[in-house]
Structure 1
Amino acid sequence: MRIYSFEKLPSTQRWLIEKIGEKAVEPPCAVVTEWQTDGIGSRESRWIGRPGNFFASIALPESYLPDDLPLPSASIYFAFLMKTTLKERGSATWVKWPNDLYLEGRKIGGCITMKKGRTVVVGIGVNIVDAPRNFGVLDIEISSSELLESFLENVEEAPSWKQIFSNFRLEFENSKKFRIHDGRESVDLRKAVLQNDGSLLIGKRRVVSLR
């Protein structure tokens, strides 16, 4: 997989989507930067990046994804793959539904996914050296290049959704300490029932991944 590396970019996600549209890059490929100044977060929010943290986006043809992966839950899938990558290095990171990376009660990163034609573009950010106020920092030492290499190895193995989801379900109880905003209202996750496709059932309402 070809990797494009930069010292500084406004957004790895926007750069990769733009280059795919221009046919200037060919998936599968990835882009990583040492500093991201205007990253994309969930629900069109900004992910504020500090220099030295991990900022990357990966473009994958749909054919590279597991056959059983529900695309609306791709953020859960890739966030959990990142959590798995960090756990292999000794981190206690966990995934808060649907796409946030947490250490105890503080967010240290997150994952977003977007479609561009038949390509899925996965954006991942992790605070590995520094964090804004009220956010956390990764509990292990690892460089951006090491983290990307290890993460891509796990992505290329393409474990099934069933395999990823069975593990994610076990730690979903951690998410129930939180509330989320689904674009309409604040939702208490204590009332949520996790469905097999990664969506939530809250009363009679189904809530799918926020990104």
Structure 2
Amino acid sequence: MTIYSFERLPSTQKWLVEKVASGEVKPPCAVITELQTEGVGSRGSRWIGRRGNFFASVALPATMLPSDLPLGATSIYFAFLMKKTVQKAGSSAWLKWPNDLYLEDRKIGGCITAKKGGNMIVGIGVNMVDAPRGFGVLDIKTTPMELLETFLENLKNPPSWKQIFSNYRLEFEKSKNYCTHAGDETLQLRDAVLQNDGSLMIGKRRVVSSR
């Protein structure tokens, strides 16, 4: 898989979306940058970038995705794959529903996805060396490029959604101490029930990840 590397970009996600749309790059491919100045986080928020942290995006043809992967569960799927990637290297990170990587009670990163035509664009950010106040830093020693290469290696034979979900179902219990957002509304997860497609039932309300 081709990896495009930069010293500085406003956003790896925006760069890859634009380049794939224009035909300048062909999926599967990835982009990584040492410094990101206008990163996109959950719900369109700004992901603050510090040099040395992990800023990368991956473009995959939809044909490379597991056939049983629900579209609404893609952020869970890829965020969990990244969690497994760092966990295999010794990290204690866990995944808060639907796409936030946590270390104990502090967020250290996250994943956003966007389907563009026949491709899935996956953006991932992880604090590796520095973090804003209130956030955490990854608890293993590696480099951004090593982390990306290991993540991409895991995508060569991606697990099914059923395999991912069976593991994540147990970890989801940790998310019940937190909240999530639906539009401008904040929802407590303590009584949420995880569904087979990755969505939640909170009371009589179904909540779907839109990231």
Q: Normalising by structure 2, report the TM-score.
A: 0.99
1:27 corresponds to 2:30: no
Structure 1 residue identity aligned to 2:187: V
Q: Tell me, what secondary structure is at the counterpart of 1:131?
A: coil
Distance in 1 between residues matched to 2:97 and 2:33, nearest whole Å: 26
Matched residue, 2:186: 186
Superposition misfits of 4+ residues, deviation over 6 angstroms: none
Structure 2 residue identity aligned to 1:121: I
Distance in 2 between residues matched to 1:200 and 1:194, nearest whole Å: 5
Q: Is the 8 A contact 1:112 1:124 kept in 2?
A: yes
Distance in 1 between residues matched to 2:51 and 2:184, nearest whole Å: 34
Matched residue, 2:177: 177
Distance in 1 between residues matched to 2:53 and 2:195, nearest whole Å: 33
Matched residue, 2:66: 66
Q: Tell me, what secondary structure is at the counterpart of 1:77?
A: helix
Distance in 2 between residues matched to 1:126 and 1:210, nearest whole Å: 20
Distance in 1 between residues matched to 2:181 and 2:72, nearest whole Å: 17
Matched residue, 1:147: 147
Q: Give 1:71 shift.
A: 1.1
Q: Give 1:210 shift.
A: 3.4
Distance in 2 between residues matched to 1:169 and 1:152, nearest whole Å: 24
Matched residue, 1:56: 56
Matched residue, 1:16: 16
Q: Tell me, what secondary structure is at the counterpart of 1:158?
A: coil
Structure 2 residue identity aligned to 1:101: L
Matched residue, 2:42: 42
Distance in 2 between residues matched to 1:50 and 1:12, nearest whole Å: 14
Distance in 2 between residues matched to 1:123 and 1:193, nearest whole Å: 27
Gaps of 5+ in 2: none
Distance in 2 between residues matched to 1:12 and 1:136, nearest whole Å: 22
Distance in 2 between residues matched to 1:145 and 1:181, nearest whole Å: 32
1:41-65: CA deviations, max 9, x gaps?
Answer: 1111111110010000000000000
Matched residue, 1:104: 104
Structure 2 residue identity aligned to 1:167: N
Distance in 1 between residues matched to 2:137 and 2:62, nearest whole Å: 32
Structure 2 residue identity aligned to 1:63: T
Structure 2 residue identity aligned to 1:33: T
Matched residue, 1:136: 136
Q: Give 1:201 shift.
A: 0.4
RMSD of aligned residue pairs (Cα, Å): 0.7
